[in-house]
Amino acid sequence: GQKDAINTTIINFNNEKMQITWATRELFPNENVSFFYTFDEGKHKVWKPCTTYLLDQDYNSGCLFKTEGPTLAISIRNSNRSEELFSKKLKTDFYIKPNRPENVTFSWKEDTVTVSCNKPERAAWCLRLELQYKSKFDEEWQSRTSKCCSVADQGFDPRKCYSFRVRLRRLVPYCNMVNYSSDWEAETFWMNGTLLDSCDEDITSQSNTVIVLSCSLAVLLMMLILLILLCKWQRVQKSVLPTIPDPKYLFADLFNDHDGNLQEWLDKNDHVMLQTKVEYEEPESITEAESQQEDGKNSDKQGPLEKIFTFSGAAENNDSKAAEIACLIPASNTMASFAGFHILRNDDMYVML
C-alpha cells in the first residue's frame, strides 16, 4: 500500500511519448533512485531501464520514454536496484495530452467567425476544440468550445482588433483520467477579417490618424488667427500711421517730363496753377474778388483776371507774380517762403503742392 501512495505525474504525449515524474526531494531525499518500465503483460515481463532521466538538482526526478502499448507498468527502485520503492500499473490512453491543432483556419462572415483545424487520425471523438479570444478593450479571454474540429461564434465588432488562440482538449472522465489539453496554437490577430501582425498596429494607425487630424486642425486654426490679426493690424496701422501719398503719382509729369525740376515745371504750367487757384480759392477770397470787380466797373480796367486773385502767401506784393516767385525752389540751404511759412531746404528736398 505504501508503494502505491507515492504521488507521480503521468503524461502520454499524443500516444507517442511517456513522461513519468515524481517529487524526488520529498519522497527520496539524498538518494538517486532508478526507474524501470515495461509494456508487457503476464508473468514474464521484461523490465527496461530508463535511458533519459529528468533531473532535479542532479537527482533523478523523472523519465522520458517511447509509448509502446496501451498498458504500462513502472517501478522505482533504490540506487543499487535491490529494493523496489514504488510500483504502478496503468492504462496509457487515460493520460493522453493531445498535440496542438494543425492547419488552423479562420472564416469570417459578417460578425461570425468560424475556426477549424485538421482532424486527428485517432480518437477524434474524445477531443474538443477550444477557442479563446479578446479585444484590446477586454482584460479576460472569452472562451467557446465545440466538437473537433470546428467552432464558431458571433457578435464580433468589425471596428475592433481581436486576439485568437485555439487548443484541443481531452474529454474527462470518458477518455482521460486527467484533464489534459494541448498547448495553445500560436496567437493570431484579426480585424474585420484581415490578419494583422498585432493589435498594436491598429492602435498605432488610430493614433497616427488622430495626430494628423490634430495637427491639421491646429495649422488651420493658426492660419485663421494670423489672418484675423493681419486684418486688425492693417486697420490699426491705417489709423495710427496713415499712408503718406507719393507725390510722384500726383505730379507724374513733374518727375517724368521734367526730372523733378520744379522751376521748369512751373514755367510750363503757369496756366494750370492759375486754374487750380481759381477752383480752390476760399469763399472769402471769391467774395472779395467779386466786390473788387464791381468797384472796378466805375473806374478804369485793372488788368487781366489773374491779377484780381491774390496769392495768400504773397500778401506783401499783392500780385500773381509774387505768388509764382514764392513757389519757386530757392538755392540750396536757403529759406523758402510759401503761403506764409518759412522752410529751410537743401538740394535733396522737394516741396509737395
Last residue of a domain, one of 196, 230, 260: 196
Give the residue carrying C-alpha cell 535511458. Answer: 51
In the prediction, which pLDDT does 307 show?
Answer: 38
Together in a domain, 13 and 70: yes
What percent of the chain shows pLDDT beyond 70? 66
Q: What is the pLDDT confidence band of residue 314, given thresholds at 50, 70 and 90?
A: very low
**Phi and psi (nearest 5°) for 348?**
-90, 0
Q: What is the pLDDT confidence band of residue 28, given thresholds at 50, 70 and 90?
A: confident
In the prediction, which pLDDT does 211 show?
Answer: 78
Within a domain: residue 334? no
Within a domain: residue 161? yes
Q: Per-residue pLDDT averaged across 272-277, rounded?
A: 54
Within a domain: residue 155? yes
Structure-model confidence comparison of residues 182 and 204, the more confident one: 182
CATH number at residue 32: 2.60.40.10
Together in a domain, 78 and 47: yes
Within a domain: residue 343? no
In the prediction, which pLDDT does 242 show?
Answer: 65
Last residue of a domain, one of 97, 132, 154: 97
Q: Are 150 and 144 in contact (CB under 8 A)?
A: no
In the prediction, which pLDDT does 168 show?
Answer: 95
In the prediction, which pLDDT does 90 show?
Answer: 92
The pLDDT tens digits for 90-127 are 999 999 999 999 999 999 998 899 999 999 888 899 99
Together in a domain, 135 and 70: no
Structure-model confidence comparison of residues 19 and 80, the more confident one: 19
What percent of the chain shows pLDDT beyond 90? 37
Within a domain: residue 158? yes
Q: What b-and-e string marks burial along 271-281, b requiring 16 or more CB atoms within 10 Å of the CB?
A: eebbeebeeeb
Q: Per-residue pLDDT averaged across 300-322, rounded?
A: 42
The pLDDT tens digits for 43-85 are 788 999 999 999 988 899 999 999 999 999 999 998 888 888 8
- Give me the number of domains the chain comprises: 2
Lowest mean pLDDT among 90-99, 171-180, 224-233: 224-233
Q: What is the pLDDT confidence band of residue 340, given thresholds at 50, 70 and 90?
A: low
Predicted confidence (pLDDT) at residue 145 exceeds the cutoff of 60: yes
Q: Which domain holds residue 178?
A: 105-196
In the prediction, which pLDDT does 337 show?
Answer: 58
Last residue of a domain, one of 196, 216, 236: 196
Together in a domain, 50 and 110: no
Q: What is the pLDDT confidence band of residue 89, given thresholds at 50, 70 and 90?
A: very high
Q: State the CB neighbour count (10 A cutoff) for residue 202.
A: 18
Whose CA is closest to 96, among 8, 9, 38, 10? 10
In the prediction, which pLDDT does 301 show?
Answer: 43
Within a domain: residue 318? no
Give the residue carrying C-alpha cell 472796378. Answer: 296
Predicted confidence (pLDDT) at residue 271 exceeds the cutoff of 50: yes
Predicted confidence (pLDDT) at residue 308 exceeds the cutoff of 60: no
Q: Are 89 and 71 in contact (CB under 8 A)?
A: yes
Q: What is the pLDDT confidence band of residue 326, given thresholds at 50, 70 and 90?
A: very low
Q: Per-residue pLDDT averaged across 303-326, rounded?
A: 43
Give the residue carrying C-alpha cell 486688425. Answer: 232
Together in a domain, 84 and 115: no
Give Cα 102 to chain centroid, integer Å. Answer: 38
337: helix, coil or strand? Answer: strand
In the prediction, which pLDDT does 217 show?
Answer: 87
Within a domain: residue 246? no
Within a domain: residue 330? no
Predicted confidence (pLDDT) at residue 128 exceeds the cutoff of 90: yes
In the prediction, which pLDDT does 188 show?
Answer: 93
Together in a domain, 90 and 116: no
